[in-house]
Structure 1
Amino acid sequence: MAAWDIEIDCEGLLCPLPVLRARKRLIALATGTVVCVRATDAMALVDLPHFCTQAGHDYLGSETEGAVTLHLIRKGETPPSQ
């Protein structure tokens, strides 16, 4: 799996908290920054890719490490309205 620039620990958090934490962190980052969201909630496998599609980020995939799933997201262009 590719390397990342920033890690967000969402272990033990349930939907929608992993998406909300990722969204908050991504707002302040430069375009192209790769974020790893560490989540244990199975719904993150659905919610994070959907969030990326809606927000203009690239969902790079996921990898499982025991009970934790690592989700990689590349920050997309920030629309002027944000």
Structure 2
Amino acid sequence: MTPPEIYDLRGLNCPLPVLKARKRLAGMTVGEQLWLETTDPLAVIDIPAFCNESGHRLVSTESMSEGHRFLVERGA
């Protein structure tokens, strides 16, 4: 199994990280995973809410020196 790709969303502010993540995940297969890296402080609220509303699974959340990263699994 190949490791998940990293989608660099650093430097983008709300709502762009969620909008871009939605588009990228739409082109993936169910069960495929993607790291989202963000610097937007609201992403800690927006990304989990987006996953919950869209049926994706938030696998992991990590704090980085300049922001956060989220491992998201594409839902049905």
Fold-level similarity (TM above 0.5): yes
1:76 aligns with 2:64: no
Matched letter for residue 46 of structure 1: I
Cα offset for 1:61? 2.5
Could you list the per-position Cα deviations for residues 43-74 of structure 1 after superposition, in whole angstroms to 9, with x for gaps in the alignment? 00000110111110001131112012111100
CA RMSD across the alignment = 1.3
Q: TM-score, normalised by structure 2?
A: 0.91
**What residue in structure 1 maps to residue 20 of structure 2?**
21
Work out the number of aligned pairs and report it: 75
Fraction of identical pairs, as percent: 36
Unaligned 5+ runs, structure 1:
78-82
| Deviation >4 Å, runs of 4+ | none
Are the aligned partners of 1:4 and 1:36 in contact in 2 as well (CA < 8 Å)?
A: no
Unaligned 5+ runs, structure 2:
none
Q: TM-score, normalised by structure 1?
A: 0.85
Counterparts of 2:61 and 2:14, CA distance in 1:
17
